Amino acid sequence: MITYKSEITFEDYNNLRMLVGWNTITKRQFDNAMKNSSFFTVAYDGDKAVGMSRGVGDGGYHLMLVDVIVHPDYQGQGIGREVVSQFMKYADDSIESGEGISLTLLSAYGKEKFYEKFGFHIRPVGKEGAGMNLKYVKK
């Protein structure tokens, strides 16, 4: 059975990243990232971390979905849907009647259809220009 909790070790976090071909981060970056996340959930099969999502925001209007990862052995079983659904619920719960919130993400190539299921749309569209990012600045 898959269970969900808001905790993950530095090693498990970097391991999930590596399993899907992403770069790893330092312990200092990890500690700050977790401390400053608005939201995060981790899927466990027993004590094995098999998926996660994280929300980074200002606590008011802007909230970005990041680190949506499912262990390759566990993909296609609904874990991705669950970790994004939990993020969406967090976003909904974070605002009051009459308020709105801006939810953004940068999709990995080929994953756009996955996110469209939650209502996200591909830019540019209408008056919205393309999303832009600088991969990272390395020292």
Q: Is the peptide bond before 124 cis (omega within 30 degrees of 0)?
A: yes
**From 33, 85, 107, 118, residue interacting with ligand COA (rule: CB under 6 A):** 107
Shortest distance, CB of residue 79 to ligand COA, whole angstroms?
4
**From 46, 59, 76, 98, residue interacting with ligand COA (rule: CB under 6 A):** 76
**From 10, 114, 118, 120, residue interacting with ligand COA (rule: CB under 6 A):** 114
Which residues within the stretch 24-53 sit at the binding site for ligand COA (CB under 6 A)? none
Strand 62-70 relative to strand 102-105: parallel, antiparallel, unpaired? Answer: parallel
Shortest distance, CB of residue 96 to ligand COA, whole angstroms?
29
Q: Shortest CA distance to 64 belongs to which of 43, 82, 40, 99?
A: 40
Interacting residues toward ligand COA by CB under 6 A: 20, 68-70, 75-81, 107-108, 110-111, 113-114, 117
